[in-house]
Amino acid sequence: MGRKWNNIKEKKASKDANTSRIYARFGREIYVVAKQGEPDPESNRALKVVLERAKTYNVPKAIIDRALEKAKGNSDETYDELRYEGFGPNGSMIIVDALTNNVNRTASEVRAAFSKNGGSLGVSGSVSYMFDSTAVIGLVGKSADDVLEILMEADVDARDILEEDEAVIVYAEPDQFHAVQEAFKNAGVTDFTVAELTMLPQNYVTIPEDSQAQFEKLIDVLEDLEDVQQVYHNVDSEE
């Protein structure tokens, strides 16, 4: 069970080390979600979720405001939400989510990233059935028993509540993301170590040492693509 948070934490740390990239991606996502509904988080639940996630990555207010103003304006820039599924070395499974204003460019770049780094693209559904869409909320200063009591009092369900690395991690259905956070905020918790909507693999695999460098390069190349928002995989990062 502990693999879940460790993999998410490593992914977050990696993204934190590339602040300009993560800021740009949040700016794009905020614009798209705000454009799809209202540019007001109080009336646009999806936007509120994105802004809560952005907060845990310390995305500057200026970037958020710029994206919201762009959505409020007359910009006709449109993005397609795409998901690619594929396989890496030793049968590892990878999901790539993208937001793009040029579908052909993105498809070509993702395909090339896989083919040049020991991977292959699969068809839709070939990988995602082995992953579960999950809301992940982490906090400190409370015990697992405290968290369970808070959620029970708020009548909010969770898949799992784990204590790891001095934090309590809550795993819940994606549509419970907002409800979990609201329950904690009503209990006086306002800072979260992680607030993510992610894809968690049902099972993890270990990459042999002689294939690890190739796998890591494939993931790095995919994450470096301008149109890619998220990359998920089922490789266990623990030694």
Dist. CA 5–CA 12, nearest whole Å: 10
Both 66 and 119 in one domain: the answer is: no
pTM of the model: 0.88
Dist. CA 229–CA 188, nearest whole Å: 32
Both 168 and 68 in one domain: the answer is: no
Both 147 and 158 in one domain: the answer is: yes
- Give the per-residue pLDDT at 6: 57
Both 36 and 95 in one domain: the answer is: no
Q: Which residue has the tokens 């995919």?
A: 222
Residue 37 sits in a domain of what CATH number? 1.10.10
Both 95 and 186 in one domain: the answer is: no
Mean pLDDT of 44-64: 92
Both 105 and 56 in one domain: the answer is: no
- Give the per-residue pLDDT at 75: 82
3-state percent breakdown (helix, strand, coil) of the chain, nearest 5: 50, 25, 30
Asked, for residue 175, whether it belongs to a domain, the answer is: yes
Kindly give, in sequence order, each residue whose CB lies less than 8 Å from that of residue 231, ignoring residues fewer than 6 positions away: 94, 95, 96, 97, 219, 222, 223
Tokens at 48, concatenated? 């509120």
Does the pLDDT at position 199 exceed 80? yes
Residue 185 sits in a domain of what CATH number? 3.30.70.980
Both 195 and 139 in one domain: the answer is: yes
% of the chain beyond a pLDDT of 90: 74
Tell me the pLDDT tens digit for each residue of 162-172. 988 788 999 99
Tell me the pLDDT tens digit for each residue of 76-121. 889 999 999 999 998 899 999 999 999 999 999 999 999 999 999 9
- Give the per-residue pLDDT at 131: 97
Does the pLDDT at position 5 exceed 80? no
Mean pLDDT of 139-155: 93
Residue 121 lies in domain: 80-129+202-233
- Which helix or strand (DSSP H or E) is residue 218 part of? helix 209-224
User: What are the φ/ψ torsions at residue 40 (nearest 5 degrees)?
Assistant: -125, 115
Q: Quick check: 234 and 201 in contact, CB under 8 A?
A: yes
Specify whether the backbone of 155 is left (phi greater than 0), alpha (psi in -120 to 50) or beta.
left
Asked, for residue 239, whether it belongs to a domain, the answer is: no
- Give the per-residue pLDDT at 14: 54
Report the domain count for the chain. Answer: 3
Both 121 and 141 in one domain: the answer is: no
- Give the per-residue pLDDT at 11: 55
- Give the per-residue pLDDT at 1: 41
Collapsing DSSP to helix, strand or coil, 26 comes out as helix
